Amino acid sequence: MAMNPLMDSAAERALRYLSAIDARPVAPDPDAVERLHELDEALPEGPTDPEQVLALLDERCSPATTATAGSRFFGFVIGGSLPVTLAANWLAAAWDQATGLYRITPATAHLEQLTLAWLLDLLGLPPESEGAFVTGASVANLCALAAARHGVYERAGWDVDGDGLVGAPPLTVIIGGEAHPSVVKALGLLGLGRRGVHRVPVDGQGRMRVDLLPEMTGPTIVCAQAGNVNTGAFDAVDEICARAHEAGAWVHVDAAFGLWAMATPGRAHLTRGLADADSWATDAHKWLNVPYDCGIAFVRHRGTLRAAMAITAEYLPTETEYRNPSDFTPELSRRARGVEVWAALKALGRQGVADLVEGTCRHAQAFADGLSEAGYEILNEVVLNQVLVSFGDPETTERVIADIQLDGTCWCGGTIWQGRTAMRISVSSWATTDEDVRMSLDAILRCAARRRPAT
């Protein structure tokens, strides 16, 4: 089989795509999206030349992508890919290691173990913590909460992973009024119920009101948040941990992007007590800028994550001198997503990660300053990489958001923050420069001025 021309072609097409990405509109070309239907056909009965398959993919799909890999996408919380992580991803894809068992995939299993230790060091988490590479923060929340469920029931003398939930003592789950929906979904998947949780009211930034935490008795899990998806705000995890631990409760922190603030001394005022928690969920595909998909679960108490995740079968090796990644993840077979994280950490070093976090926060502040100077209202305290701006009444703000997406210079989405319609700016990409911020700010102000109600 002629392998090289095909691979060369793929690399060439990928590089052409990336080198042109900042010259095209950030939103996908609407005509190209329409033309995706040209791919619609009955399942082919016979073969197609691989080069032709690749050409079809590139010509039909590349223009219909959103330029999230570029430097001016500020929607949701979506990072790009550091070049070294994309390169590592290509090599690791060539290895095709099903990273479940050490004995079969020693290189990637070893790398993931090393990378987890580096992450604990970088993020200042307890060195005895165990971790797992999963698809994203949604599944990291699920895994960490499965460990939490095991942990609190173990303390209550109930083996939930062995005996299930039927007949188990009641378990109280406490979350903030601004908990991410993925936490609620994880609780549903774990049989703890999406609705049966105690919701604690939040303040104007979305932080749990610690003074309104309920009394905690019996098996209890508290889900705190580090990095609200709208405001970037952090719960007072230090105070939450103090209260919860006094009552023997487990504190889990959804820190999908906020955990990376632990990598820079400049944000220490936000992250106080974060390391006191019992488990954490984070993403690497957001702020660390590795390719999709990659999230990480960390659990402080040795044995609990494994108790919730390990599988045993006659044909699987059971030796204990190696760490089998599949003892810590929902999957047995999976791609070696720790490879790109290792590459990012090796290439950036501790200082580089801090610079990445601080740089994007500085860009967010520049957006907030520019918009505020032009007379628009910033709805959040800009403590991290998230900015919420209102352009006036809800209709005007919605029109400005639609205009900016159509304009194509940059891409920002909308939200409703505590009843107020707002545009969200999230700066999460390594690739964003001062010049990108200037260009984007100009475009936003141009769109906003056009919609400014006549006075």
Q: Which is nearer to ligand PLP, 137 or 143 (CB)?
A: 137
How far apart are alpha carbons 307 and 200 in whole angstroms?
A: 30
Rounded Cα distance between 447 and 356, Å, is 29
Alpha carbon distance 223, 236 (integer Å): 12
d(CA 388, CA 416): 10
Task: State in angstroms the smallest separation of the CB of 162 from ligand PLP.
Answer: 29
Which phi-psi region, left, alpha or beta, contains residue 145 (left: φ > 0; alpha: ψ -120 to 50)?
Answer: alpha
CB of 291: closest distance to ligand PLP in angstroms? 13
Rounded to a whole number of angstroms, the minimum distance from the CB of residue 137 to ligand PLP is: 3
Q: Least separation, in Å, of the C-beta of 375 and ligand PLP?
A: 30
d(CA 234, CA 227): 5
Name the amino acid, one letter, at 118. Answer: W
The residue among 254 and 436 lying less far from ligand PLP, judged by its C-beta, is: 254
Closer CB to ligand PLP, 137 or 443, in the complex: 137
Least Å distance, CB 179 to ligand PLP, is 8
Tell how far CA 141 is from the center of its chain: 11
* Tokens matching residue 233: 């705000």
Residues that bind ligand PLP (CB under 6 A): 77, 136-138, 180, 182, 227, 229, 254, 256-257, 283, 295
* Three-class SS state of 373: helix
Name the strands in the sheet holding 386-390, side by side, starting at the edge strand that comes first in the sequence: 377-378, 386-390, 420-426, 413-417
CA angle, 212 then 199 then 281, to 5°: 105
Smallest Cα–Cα separation from 262: which of 297, 227, 293, 305? 227
Residue sitting closest to ligand PLP (CB): 136
Please, which residue, 132 or 441, has the CB nearer to ligand PLP? 132
Looking at beta carbons only, is 216 or 383 nearer to ligand PLP?
Answer: 383
Nearer to ligand PLP (CB atom), residue 216 or residue 281: 281
The CB-of-141 to ligand PLP minimum distance in angstroms stands at 6
Decide if 390 contacts 276 (C-beta within 8 A): no
Q: In a 10 Å sphere around its CB, with 0-12 CB exposed, 13-18 middle and 19+ buried, how is residue 393 labelled?
A: exposed
In the complex, what is the shortest distance from the CB of residue 183 to ligand PLP, in angstroms, rounded to a whole number?
A: 7
Nearer to ligand PLP, 112 or 254 (CB): 254
